[in-house]
């Protein structure tokens, strides 16, 4: 589905119906910012809102998924096309999901195989690296599938890197390739959490200051 096209279609139909974003959001029980995100193509509505949204905009589900008005004489043909496309996409997503699980399982097995078989340090590091690569590949596929199915984007906050680095250190620790204390093994995780907490505190403080200045004016 073309999110940008659907978003423009929603915005156009809303204006034609004489509704503001606020009015539409109140009827659907969401925020006006959520409606704005739909219209800007950032994400799609929750599937539970497809039918209510179409009813409010006076369009069919086929028109919603197409992102345009469909002449009545072509409605059946276009609806069939949309159904076939949806089934094909679901099959592809199911296959990709299965591949992602296989990659994650193989990655975990490779990462811990060195500890079970007592390979040399060099071989252990190579196996752990291959295992981590497979795990991350599987996770990336799962993230992409999630974004496509929900229409939501996952922003990179930096916590993924901290978590990955922590996992690498944990595996190296468990396989005996490093002799660090657990304090240092887990350091990327707690340092990342502290950094995130500090960033949130700064943003909240800045927001409070701006809010106070606006009130004074």
Q: What angle do CA 153, 84, 5 make, to 5 degrees?
A: 40
- Contact between 116 and 171 under an 8 Å Cβ cutoff? The reply is no
CA 31, CA 181: separation in Å to the nearest integer? 48
**pLDDT (tens digit, 9 = 90+) per residue, 107-121?**
878 767 766 667 776
Q: Residues, the chain, total?
A: 217
End-to-end CA distance of the chain: 46
Q: Which residue has the tokens 């959520």?
A: 34
**Average pLDDT, stretch 79-107?**
77
DSSP state of 146: H
Q: Which of 42-46, 101-105, 130-134 has the lowest mean pLDDT?
A: 130-134
**Average pLDDT, stretch 88-99?**
76
**pLDDT (tens digit, 9 = 90+) per residue, 61-70?**
888 888 888 8
Q: Give the tokens for residue 10.
A: 């929603």
pLDDT value at 158 more than 60: no
CA 123, CA 110: separation in Å to the nearest integer? 11
- Contact between 162 and 188 under an 8 Å Cβ cutoff? The reply is yes
Question: Counting runs of H as helices and runs of E as strands, what totals does the chain give?
Answer: 10, 0
pLDDT confidence of 12, banded at 50, 70, 90? very high
The pLDDT > 90 percentage for the chain reads 6
pLDDT confidence of 190, banded at 50, 70, 90? confident
- Contact between 39 and 67 under an 8 Å Cβ cutoff? The reply is no
pLDDT value at 156 more than 60: no
**Average pLDDT, stretch 186-214?**
75
pLDDT confidence of 196, banded at 50, 70, 90? confident
pLDDT confidence of 188, banded at 50, 70, 90? confident
pTM (predicted TM-score): 0.47
Q: 100 or 119, which is more confident?
A: 100
**Average pLDDT, stretch 163-173?**
74
CA 82, CA 163: separation in Å to the nearest integer? 40
Q: Which residue has the tokens 């296959």?
A: 95
Residue 213, pLDDT score:
66
């Amino acid at each position: 589905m073309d999110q940008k096209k659907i978003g423009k279609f929603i915005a156009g139909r809303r204006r034609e119906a004489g509704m503001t974003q606020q009015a539409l959001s109140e009827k659907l029980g969401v925020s006006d910012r959520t409606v704005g995100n739909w219209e800007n193509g950032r994400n799609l509505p929750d599937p539970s809102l497809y039918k209510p949204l179409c009813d409010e905009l006076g369009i069919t589900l086929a028109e919603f998924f197409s992102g345009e008005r469909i002449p009545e004489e072509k409605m059946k043909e276009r609806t069939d096309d949309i159904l076939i496309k949806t089934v094909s996409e679901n099959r592809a997503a199911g296959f990709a999901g299965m591949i992602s699980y296989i990659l994650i399982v193989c990655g975990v097995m490779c990462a811990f195989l060195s500890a079970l078989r007592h390979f040399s340090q060099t071989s252990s590091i190579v196996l752990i690296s291959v295992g981590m690569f497979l795990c991350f590949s599987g996770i990336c596929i799962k993230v992409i599938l999630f974004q496509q199915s929900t229409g939501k984007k996952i922003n990179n906050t930096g916590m993924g890197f901290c978590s990955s680095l922590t996992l690498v250190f944990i595996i190296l620790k468990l396989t005996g390739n490093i002799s660090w204390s657990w304090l240092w093994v887990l350091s990327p995780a707690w340092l990342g959490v502290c950094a995130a907490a500090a960033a949130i505190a700064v943003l909240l403080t800045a927001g409070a200051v701006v809010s106070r200045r606006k009130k004074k004016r």
